[in-house]
Amino acid sequence: MSKDKLKQYVYIVQSVKENTKCKIGVTNDLERRLKDYNSTTGKSKENISIYLFTCEVCDMKQVEDDIKAEFKHLREEKSREIYFYNKDLFEKYVNFIKTHKAFTEEIFIKSDVQKEVVKIVKRTTPSLKERGLSPKDVMQKAQKVDNDEFYTRYEDVEKEIEMYDKEMWKEKTVFCNCDDAVDADDDRNTSAFALYFMQNFKKLSLKKLICTHYAGGIDLFNQGPKGYIFTYIFTKDGFKELKDYPKGYTGSFDDPISLKILNEDADIVCTNPPFSKAIEYWNIIVESGKKFLIISNFTNVITPAFIPYFKEKKVWAGYNRVDYFLTPKKQITQASGHWYTNIPIKDRPKYENMKIMPLKKIPEKYKKYDDKKILVVDNNYIPNDYKEPFAVSAYPILSGVLEKGYKLFNDKEYNPYINGERRFSRVLVQKI
């Protein structure tokens, strides 16, 4: 076997006519692997497979296993290495691979469709160290999105809300302080939150629905530049839809009028606030003392500004994560979100995701000690016989580990270093 055959590679390949998914695989022979794809899946020269990214690694099996664990929610099928694809997801895949301890060097691939040959050239992209970046810096950059204005899909609103006892909504005023409402029959210009509550008003026995229209730079839902308050109620004469345009009202969640509605009228807040203003929004909504059910960034549970809320048990994860949203043009886009709430959770299905067991039974590849001798566990493994604080990612927190006899050790983010290399951010938890 030649020296080249012994090399190990990780690659991301995609059929040019299937731009919503890609395959992340490993091989000892890049040139042959691409030819194999084009001889089995390339139905024509217009539908060939091409490499999007390739690199050399020192342990391709370990990288492949870690990719499966990290992005299991993005795999199209559990039995195949086919993953959902878009620009932001691609950056996350590449950044994860390039910050992996087994990563050696990036390789640029140039394929010639007619000759089906692959040319491998030397890496010219500077390393993270050369660029003065840490793995955390890269992940934070990858998590940024070009447009902060995402609309929640109706099915995601319905899926989460129907997990709760409908009695909790009886005779309550629901306030959607980041969601437009036009009318119950206009699903094109009415947010999924407003639409769900209007269509299920009687089923939930609601008292009132209040929504706001934001008078920002973007004409959200095509309703003009003026902020307004939309109120939906049921009277003896049937349903009524009212719009009020207070002078100078911005429609923002922190506008004095919006705050007045929150504090004096609202019973339950349910909305998808802008990810970019999450810190300000959480400060207002949590301190209001009102019940809430909101969508926010998946990583909030390991982000310094939000960790204290979870430690003090003022907020916890809802039932579901939300990976897909709609742009203002109604196109599907991806952003890692999750439901958060202060409403009691019963029989959380995600408990089953955690593997709680004695430390010695946790596979070696999913447990290690960092340079400070702190135990770091991955892949939702949780030791049930370990008394010291240990580091976990966001997944166990969102799966409900804090409801299974564990607590947050402190209210800070934890950044483990292993052999001097900084790893992804985590939090410290401890068995109660």
Q: What is the 3-state secondary structure (H, E, C) of 14-52?
A: EECCCCCEEEEEEECCHHHHHHHHHHHCCCCCCCCEEEE
CA distance 360 to 392: 17
Task: Measure CA of the first residue to CA of the last residue in the chain; give whole Å.
Answer: 55
CA distance 81 to 93: 13
Q: State residue 18's pLDDT score.
A: 74
Q: State residue 135's pLDDT score.
A: 42
CA distance 336 to 420: 29
Q: State residue 427's pLDDT score.
A: 96
Q: State residue 4's pLDDT score.
A: 46
- For the stretch 273-298, pLDDT in tens is 988 889 999 999 999 999 999 999 98
Q: State residue 185's pLDDT score.
A: 60
Q: State residue 187's pLDDT score.
A: 60
- Picking from 89, 103, 90, 4, the residue whose alpha carbon sits closest to that of residue 51 is 90
Q: Would you kindly state where each structural domain of the chain is located, as residue ranges?
A: 3-143, 154-346, 354-431
Q: State residue 360's pLDDT score.
A: 96
| Low-confidence stretches of the chain (pLDDT beneath 70) | 1-5, 40-47, 76-79, 108-149, 180-189, 216-225
Cβ neighbours of residue 344 closer than 8 Å, sequence gap 6 or more = none
What are residue 167's phi and psi, to 5 degrees?
A: -65, -25
Q: State residue 381's pLDDT score.
A: 96
Q: State residue 120's pLDDT score.
A: 37
- For the stretch 167-194, pLDDT in tens is 999 999 999 998 766 655 656 667 889 9
What are residue 180's phi and psi, to 5 degrees?
A: -75, 150
Cβ neighbours of residue 424 closer than 8 Å, sequence gap 6 or more = 99, 135, 136, 139, 393
Q: State residue 218's pLDDT score.
A: 52
Q: State residue 284's pLDDT score.
A: 96
